[in-house]
A and B are shown apart, each in its own frame.
Chain A
Amino acid sequence: MARSKMTMPTEQRIMTLEVFRYLPEREEKPRFQSYTVPYREDWVVLDALNYIKDQIDGTLSYRWSCRMGVCGSCGMMVNGEPKLTCAAFLKNYYPNPIRVEPLTNFPVIRDLIINLEDFLHKLKELKTWILPKEQKAVSQGEYLQTPEQLATFKQFSMCINCMLCYAACPVYGLEPKFLGPAAIALAQRYNLDSRDGAKSERAETVASSEGIWECTFIGECSRVCPKHVDPAAAIQQAKVINTQDWWKSVLLPWGKKD
């Protein structure tokens, strides 16, 4: 049975977006610019930004792609909270104005576009990919894994690299060398993967002072994560595993290394 739609009032409802602008080739300092957009029940902040770019101000620059919460491109600060703008509905803010800013803790290239080189560099540093325990030729078949083995790391594999956790993390804001929630969660994802054999290769970086031990378990990363990865859990569990491994190396130095 079709839902009956609410009758639209004859005057169109509108919303105000206060958008962070930074045009380095023209202006020394950043500023906020106000735009008025139509309010629609099913619109998200990204729809409003697209309306602005299409109908009002073509100079506005920002990243977006899938518009359905899987690519991680459209992360921005919405009223001071890191959000995927494709998942932030206007109706949750109406009729109050919405302030849109680039993700905090990252340098701004232009308008709402941040420089994410630091994050990409950290992913590489932590070798966030499978380094197989045993090399197999294609003809030898797949690397098999039980559902229980998959379950140990599946949650941490849901990360879409949106960097909302970095924007929320005060430690990353105060110490940019910190590897950060997503990179460590992804390293943990591969360390827990039964097919992977590179835990000891990653260990020095993971357990460095800029790694897991920089984290003070604030928990903001997990609170803002749109995919419920729970990076705070990944980091704390990595601390436990790292401590156990250290004790093993001290008490059983002849023991087999993972």
Chain B
Amino acid sequence: MKTKELVRSMPTAWWLHNRHLAKFMIRELTSFFVSGYAIFLLVMIYQVNRGGEEFRQFYFNVLQSGWMKAYGWISLIFVGFHSITSFNAAPTIMAPRWGEDKIDPRVVIAANYGLWLIISIAILIIVL
């Protein structure tokens, strides 16, 4: 005789069960700021392209405004958190080997940070 199995539902606040899950959800939410900043950069490129008076107005009315500066600082924190957690996860995704041995995960992480630094310096040189 088959008895009735108990099916337990998942609680809505499952992501508060432990700090690892909470950190995961925070990381997922930071994706909004990453994509938001990407959209902002596209708007910047469009405004720069307009040139002259239009860009001056955009610069003083929008970019110099208090809320824009606040958004910039908040984005920097969240995008930074997102980037750091992504780089730290890199050895899980890429697991290069040297013969039988796995390459030290710290080397993979360092390579990611190194590339980030090089690209950032290159962009700064171009922009400045």
Given the known A-B contacts A230-B92, A237-B93, are A105 and B6 also in contact in the complex, defined by CB atoms under 8 Å? Answer: no
Contacts of B95 in A (CB 8 A): 233, 237
Interface residues on B, range: 20 to 34
The verdict on B21 contacting chain A, using a C-beta distance below 8 Å, is yes
Contact A104 B94, beta carbon cutoff 8 Å: no
| Residue ID in chain A nearest B99 by CB atoms | A148
CA distance A28 to B33 in the complex (A): 48
How far does the Cβ of B109 sit from chain A's closest Cβ, in whole Å? 14
Contact B5 A109, beta carbon cutoff 8 Å: yes
A162-180 interface (Cβ within 8 A of B)? 170, 173-174
A143-188 interface (Cβ within 8 A of B)? 147-148, 150-152, 170, 173-174
CA distance A22 to B99 in the complex (A): 52
Please report B residues at the A interface, Cβ cutoff 8 Å: 3-8, 10, 14-15, 17-18, 20-21, 24, 28, 89, 92-95, 97, 99-101
A-B contact pairs, 24 of them (CB 8 A): A22-B6, A24-B5, A104-B10, A105-B10, A107-B5, A108-B8, A109-B3, A110-B3, A147-B100, A148-B99, A148-B100, A151-B101, A170-B14, A170-B21, A174-B14, A217-B89, A218-B21, A218-B24, A220-B21, A222-B92, A223-B20, A236-B93, A239-B93, A240-B94
